[in-house]
Amino acid sequence: MGLKEDLRSIPGRIFDALGNVAAKVTYERETKGPVDPVTGQTVTVTSKQVRAVFLTFSEQRVAVGDIKAGDIRMVVPASELGFQPQAQDNVVRGGGRYTVIAYETDPVQAHYSIQVRKS
C-alpha cells in the first residue's frame, strides 16, 4: 500500500473512532436516462448510505457571502462515497432533505467537505 492509499484510509478510521458522532445519511444523485417503459420516468436516482459528520460554518464564512446562514458543512470519507459530489445532489438525514451546493476535498482526496442547504 502506498502513501496515498494510507492517507485515504485515515478518514474512515477516524469515523470508526467517532462512533455515534457520525450520522448515517443517504446520498442521492439523479441522472437523466432513457425513458423507462414501465414508469415513463427519465430520471434514475442512485442512493448510497454513508457516514457523515455535520458541522456549522463560521460567522466569518457566512459574512464573506459564499455561505448562507443555515448552510451546513458535511464531512464524508471519500472511500465511502465512491464518487465526487456534484451540485444539486441530495442528502437525506433523518426527516430532512438537503441539496449539495459546493464541495472541497484535500490533496489526496481522502474526504469531502460538502456544503449543503435545507431543501
Local confidence band at 44 (pLDDT 50, 70, 90 cut-offs): confident
What would the grid cell of residue 84 be? 465526487
66 or 83, which is more confident: 83
Per-residue pLDDT band for 62 (boundaries 50, 70, 90) equals confident
pLDDT of residue 83: 92
Q: pLDDT at position 6, please? A: 60
Distance CA 15, CA 22 (A): 6
The DSSP output letter for 20 is G
Task: State the Cα–Cα distance between residues 73 and 114, nearest whole angstrom.
Answer: 6
* Inter-residue contact 8 to 107 (CB < 8 Å): no
Cβ atoms of 62 and 69 closer than 8 Å: yes
C-alpha cell at 81: 462515497
